[in-house]
Amino acid sequence: MNIDSETTVGKLAAEHPLATRVLARHGIDFCCGGGRPLREVCSKKGLDSAQVLAEIHRELQTTNASEENWNEAPLDDLIDHILDAYHEPLREELPRLGAMARKVFDVHGARDPERFSQLVDVYTGLEAELQAHMDKEEQVLFPMIRREMGQAAQMPISMMEHEHDNAGAALHRLHELTDGYKVPDGACNTWRALWHGLAALEESLHQHIHLENNILFPRALAA
């Protein structure tokens, strides 16, 4: 395996999908921050890159799980996968989480009004941007990629990457505001469900953005 500490985390995730388990375990952003080498990312997070690399090698060598390598799949199949596995569920999940966030704020906001207010504001902005983002991909960018327009798709791809960065920043802020989605003592069932739902949203969006930034977009531009 041609993997070392200078390998970018985006390339690592794209070429070895199972490595994302280790990256996620250590909170390493392999979607929006995919262009940075593993050594640099580990250094900034206070991690031992050699240890993380060893974990990745063990994961790749010992697991029997089957993971689709989207580097080798037709682009039409990858787009269909993104639509089915990410876009369609998001359209249902985003309003559900938004409703729960507002309910928890209404009931428990007095415990920490500034934090809860920020959480609702950040989430509402993320939800609106993601809904518009998916519309643009489905109506403009994905059809261009299906038609193999190559470099002609550079401008919409750049716009989508910028919006991915915005989504990544919002996810990071939500992570901070929830103390890493640690459910506080005495939280009601809705509060617990909201924290768990936001944690799942973060994990799903990281995979979603990774597939687009690190695999779909580079392959589409090279078509």
Per residue in 207-222, pLDDT (tens digit) is 999 999 999 999 999 9
Q: Does any domain span residue 184?
A: yes
Same domain, 47 and 121: no
pLDDT band at 154 (very low <50, low <70, confident <90, very high): very high
Q: Is 32 helix (H, G, I), strand (E, B) or coil?
A: coil
For the chain, state the CA radius of gyration: 18
Same domain, 135 and 86: yes
Same domain, 176 and 133: yes
Q: Does any domain span residue 54?
A: yes
Same domain, 95 and 56: no
Same domain, 89 and 21: no
Across 147-169, average pLDDT = 95
Q: Which two tokens stand for residue 101?
A: 């966030």
Same domain, 102 and 142: yes
pLDDT tens digits along 82-91: 999 999 999 9
Same domain, 33 and 134: no
Same domain, 159 and 191: yes
Secondary structure, 3-state, 164-205: HHHHHHHHHHHHHHCCCCCCCCCCCHHHHHHHHHHHHHHHHH
Separation CA 223–CA 212 (nearest Å): 15
Q: Which two tokens stand for residue 100?
A: 């729960």
Report the chain's mean pLDDT, rounded to a whole number.
90
Task: Please give the model's pTM, rounded to 2 decimal places.
Answer: 0.76
Same domain, 47 and 126: no
Select from 196, 204, 209, 208 the least CA-distant residue to 101. 196
CB-side neighbour CA atoms (13 Å) of 180: 4
Four-CA torsion 92, 98, 101, 103, nearest 10 degrees? -90
pLDDT of residue 98: 94
Same domain, 135 and 212: yes
Q: Is 153 helix (H, G, I), strand (E, B) or coil?
A: helix
Domain that holds residue 80: 75-222
Q: Does any domain span residue 182?
A: yes
**Strand ranges (DSSP E) for 113-167?**
none
Select from 15, 4, 32 the least CA-distant residue to 207. 32
Residue of 63 and 206 predicted with greater confidence? 206
Q: Which two tokens stand for residue 177?
A: 């505001």
Four-CA torsion 156, 159, 164, 169, nearest 10 degrees? 180
pLDDT of residue 126: 97
Same domain, 112 and 13: no
Number of domains making up the chain: 2
Q: Does any domain span residue 68?
A: no
Q: Does any domain span residue 69?
A: no
76-85 contacts at long range (C-beta below 8 A, 24 or more positions apart): 76/146, 78/211, 78/215, 78/216, 78/219, 79/142, 79/145, 79/146, 79/216, 81/211, 82/208, 82/211, 82/212, 82/216, 83/138, 83/142, 85/208
Same domain, 97 and 132: yes
Q: Does any domain span residue 70?
A: no
